[in-house]
Structures are given as C-alpha cells and as structure tokens.
C-alpha cells in the first residue's frame, strides 16, 4: 500500500520536531527519521494496528504508537493516510478535529 502523510500530519511532525530540537537537535533528527520510517511501514500491514479512540462510524481511525506519540491514520483502498501525529498524553481529538470522511 502507498502511505500518504497529509498536510496536517506534516505540520504536526514539524511542530513536534522543532519542539524536541530546542532541547536536543540530534535527538530531534533521529526522532523524525524514526517516525517517518514507522509511518512508511504502515503500508505493509496497516490493519495490525488497533482502532484509535477517535475512530467512529464515519471513519475508521487506527493508531500506531511511536515512543510517546500516536500516529493516527486511516486506510482507503490501496492508500494509508496519516492524519495526525499527537503526543500520547494529549486528550483524544474531538469530533470537529477529525475528518468526517475518508480522504
């Protein structure tokens, strides 16, 4: 399957990267590289990952935990769409923050 990182997830990634980089530039680069690698591996067996609390009847959202972060994604036909990257300590997304239909 193809893996596509949405603009919102890409913005999440950049924001988190810049935050980590304030403390440790090397660690930030390593984190971003590892997260992107984990996201690309979703193309192999995406349905191995459990449903996220944000999942609902309109759209199935799954999650892959990477360190302290959750990679939220959905699967449509032959593509995995990474929707959000969020710290695990944050509250789940509210209904207005999740897409109402598949990309």
> pLDDT tens across 23-74, in order?
999 999 999 999 999 999 999 999 999 999 888 888 899 999 999 999 999 9
pLDDT, position 56: 84
What is the rounded average pLDDT of the residues 90-96?
Answer: 62
pLDDT, position 95: 59
- Would you give the distance in Å from CA 64 to the centre of its chain? 7
Q: Enter the pTM of the model.
A: 0.86
Q: Which CATH architecture has domain 2-95?
A: 2-Layer Sandwich (3.30)
CA distance 17 to 1: 26
CA separation, residue 32 to residues 12, 25, 54, 60, 93 (Å): 11, 11, 24, 25, 22
- pLDDT band for 22, please (50, 70, 90 cuts): very high
């Amino acid at each position: 399957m193809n893996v596509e990182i949405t603009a919102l997830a890409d913005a999440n990634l950049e924001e988190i990267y810049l935050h980590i980089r304030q403390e440790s530039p090397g660690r930030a680069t390593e984190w971003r590289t590892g997260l992107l690698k984990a996201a690309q591996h979703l193309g192999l067996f995406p349905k191995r990952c459990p449903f996220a609390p944000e999942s609902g009847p309109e759209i199935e959202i799954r999650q892959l935990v990477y360190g302290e972060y959750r990679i939220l994604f959905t699967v449509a036909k032959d593509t995995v769409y990474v929707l959000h990257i969020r710290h695990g300590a944050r509250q789940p997304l509210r209904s207005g923050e999740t897409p109402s239909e598949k990309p």
